[in-house]
Structure 1
Amino acid sequence: MTIVPIVTVPDPVLKQRATEVGTVDDALRRQMDNMLDTMYDAPGIGLAANQIGLLNRVLVMDLSERLEDGVEPKRNPIYMVNPEIIFKSEEPSEMEEGCLSIPGQYALVQRPAIVRVKYLDYNGQGQEMEASGLLSHCVQHEIDHLNGVLFIDHLSKLKRDMIMKKLAKLQKGQQVL
């Protein structure tokens, strides 16, 4: 189990577009395992490679229910390499989103209610997934990361600026301690 540091705003790697992966090999599987361990430790439900400073098109998710302390959760990880949204519904969905790279900040984000995603799995096999609800929001959020887009980029300038000011204040307060 390897936990790696999570990159936070305003690190420029979060605004860069990740490049496609050529082959799913053991090194990439180790990266995905480390990303998953990092995400569970944070704790979060999704993590894109940009968030650990890597610019390859890889993301991990797990929307399994978290159980009480001392009880091992039933995990259901999803690994996506080179994910691509191939269908977006016209129907919108609005949910509160947060981000491990923008700690402690949340806002309502509107996205397509249903998406279909094409990707390579942990073993390099081609897959397709149709997602709705929380899974739809999560996969779109993580693919946004791979495109250099943050959830706050979907907000009005006023809301985005308020979140960034709050975050700067929190970060400044932590440096004083």
Structure 2
Amino acid sequence: MKILRYPNKKLRYISKPVIKIDKKIHKIIDKMFKIMILENGIGLSAIQVGIPLQIITILDTENINKKITIINPKIIKKKKKILNSEGCLSFPNQQAIVPRYKYLDIKALNYYGKNIKIKAKSLLSICIQHEIDHLLGKLFIDYLSELKKNIIKKKMKKMYKKENENKN
């Protein structure tokens, strides 16, 4: 399992809801946390590792030792638009200003399949929104002007080409 990098087409796939939370799903979640931490990330969606399921792993931004698993998330409420600089593990070393909501309420399932509600604010809210976008096949560059989007796309394609040349 490894993080897919843009321009991998799978990053645009729309993720399907998880039907049954079992050992297989737990194994995916555990691996996602391991990879996310190794890559110094705070959030990761399953599609970023090539699995089109509605699974998100997050390190709580206020308590970095607390792991949050979000399965089949639904946004209930969002308020107070803000602009935030964000990056993405699928776009190494790239940052952009993206509009998000400062406050977010979601309902979802946790690691054990229990119904949960999360009231998120600030960085946690932004992280959850970013990862939910991934589940919908949406990338943070989709919020940018064509010029900014093309600059990042060009950098990523160049890096992707270089990585592939180094493999051969």
TM-score class, shorter: over 0.9
TM-score, with structure 2 as normaliser: 0.92
> What TM-score do you get using the length of structure 1 for normalisation?
0.88
The whole-number CA distance in structure 2 between the counterparts of 1:87 and 1:97 is: 22
Over the matched positions of the two proteins, sequence identity in percent amounts to 37
The corresponding residue for 1:5 is 2
RMSD: 1.7
Distance 1:134 1:74 in 2: 12
Match of 2:66 among 76, 81, 94: 76
Judge conservation of contact 2:61–2:123 (CA < 8 Å) in 1: no
The code of the aligned residue for 2:54 comes to R
- Cross-structure match for 1:50: 47
SS in 2 for 1:7: coil
- The gaps in structure 2 that reach 5 residues or longer are none
Q: Secondary structure at the match of 1:123?
A: coil
Encode CA deviations 1:74-99: one digit per residue, 9 max, x unaligned. Answer: 6110001101111111x211111101
* Distance in 2 separating the partners of 1:175 and 1:11: 12
Tell me what 2:77 maps to.
87
Residue of structure 2 equivalent to 1:169: 158
Q: 1:35 maps to what in 2? A: 32
Q: Which stretch shifts more, 4-13 or 48-57?
A: 4-13
In 2, Cα distance between the equivalents of 1:42 and 1:74?
15
> Within 2, Cα distance between the matches of 1:127 and 1:24?
14
Name the one with the larger strand percent.
2
Superposed, which structure 2 residues align to 1:106-145 within 5 Å? Answer: 106-145=95-134
Extract unaligned runs of 5+ from structure 1.
66-72
- Correspondence for 1:60: 57
User: 2:23 aligns to what?
Assistant: 26
Is the 8 Å Cα contact of residues 61 and 124 (structure 2) preserved in structure 1? Answer: no
Distance 1:81 1:60 in 2: 9
Aligned partners of 1:133 and 1:108: how far apart in 2? 15
Taking the aligned partners of 1:11 and 1:74, their CA distance within structure 2 comes to 29
| Distance in 2 of aligned mates of 1:9 and 1:113 | 27
Q: In structure 2, how many angstroms separate the alpha carbons of the residues matched to 1:176 and 1:82?
A: 37
Render the CA deviation track for 1:123-173: whole Å, top value 9, x for unaligned. Answer: 100000111100011000000000000111111111111111122233344
Cα deviation, residue 22, structure 1: 0.8
CA distance in 1, matches of 2:76, 2:113: 19
